[in-house]
Amino acid sequence: MTKKPFVTKEQLEEIAKIYPTPFHIYDERGIRENVRALKEAFSWNKGYKEYFAVKATPNPFLIQILREYGCGCDCSSYTELMMSEAIGAVGEDIMFSSNATPAEEFVYADKLGGIINLDDFTHIDFLEKAIGYIPETISCRYNPGGLFQISNDIMDNPGDAKYGMTTEQLFDAFRILKEKGAKHFGIHAFLASNTVTNEYYPMLAKVLFEVAVKLQKETGVHIKFINLSGGIGIPYRPDQEPNDIHAIGEGVRKVYEEVLVPAGMGDVAIYTELGRFMMGPYGALVTRAIHEKHTHKEYIGCDACAVNLMRPAMYGAYHHITVMGKEDAPCDHKYDVTGSLCENNDKFAIDRMLPKIDTGDLLYIHDTGAHGFAMGYNYNGKLKSAELLLKEDGSVQMIRRAETPADYYATFDCFEIGKKLIK
């Protein structure tokens, strides 16, 4: 089985004449089709809203596409709040979900009118001291602990996660926040990452809905929304079945009607904070093979490296690779596909069966639209690549230029040596 790129070899060769490899490229048509499908899947809920996880793909040009469909921004840092404000996503278009949060970030989120999602019980007093009061609308992040399982499969281990409050803390937090003036409450939880199953969201929803009913009954608070956060994954491997967002939406609707509606909570809004699902499949890293090495193994050296895509080096994550122009050739050569960092884990693929790769071939690394460029760094003095948008009409727009040495040395601008380095 294989994956099909959203761009052709001929297109990429023309693009590379203007924007040298490596670069990340995104598919506008795919992004738009996907966000429309998401909104349709949850259209049964009157208050439904998607808060795109800015950390996944922090590019204002891409987020503005989602804004056209009513999406807000899920922010977790000062600079993400800045980006949200710059594109006009303020007020309740912001969900601020952070942890170990500096006071100035709470102050900024409050200034913008965003919904603050508290990660820890101790943050109640910390927030109140930082901004001087407790907002009327507030959310708390929940972590039930233990393992999160679907059937006999362990999806993730919330008990080991640093995020969220225990059940007891959550109930105490709602009581205290209510006493301090909060009027509208939200519940948020993220119990598993990158799930490729239609069952995850409905099971998570049931956990949160049942907790919400108990909270409203025992504390007397008004539950305004329940945020199912992220966790809906994508099929990185070609043999994986993609999630069916309509089936997921329908599964959540059934649980909503089974649990919330009989409890008189049929007005609760459903929020999501999807990043990987929204952008992952609609981005690719394009790199060129520039070296072949024949030693104890067969290596292909690329002009991209872990600076451009960190997930394989960091997690051992699989990203499918298409050798452009050789889509139908037999995969009869075994390669390690590497970058040029002074780190042995700087590999996009290990022992991967691919068509014969020649120097100069373009490699299309799939599913980098989320947590791809965003996780980049500058080790070895490597520079981050450009980001491009393949428009619906087939044209290409640069939506972030490639870094230059002047960018790398910019923080020396206040020193004499900076004048020599920044030219």
Enumerate the active-site residues.
342
User: What is the separation, in whole angstroms, between the first and last Cα of the chain?
Assistant: 49
If you ran DSSP here, which 8-state letter would residue 370 be given? T
Number of Cβ within 10 Å of residue 30's Cβ equals 17
CA distances from 312 to 217, 297, 388 (A): 46, 19, 22
CB 366 within 8 A of CB 327: no
For CA atoms 37, 41, 43, 47, the dihedral sign is: negative
The alpha carbon of 368 is separated from its chain's Cα centroid by a whole number of angstroms, namely 11
User: CA nearest 76: which of 50, 100, 59, 48?
Assistant: 100
Residues 6+ apart with CB under 8 A from 155: 148, 149, 191, 192, 195, 197, 200
For tokens 């942890």, name the residue: 99
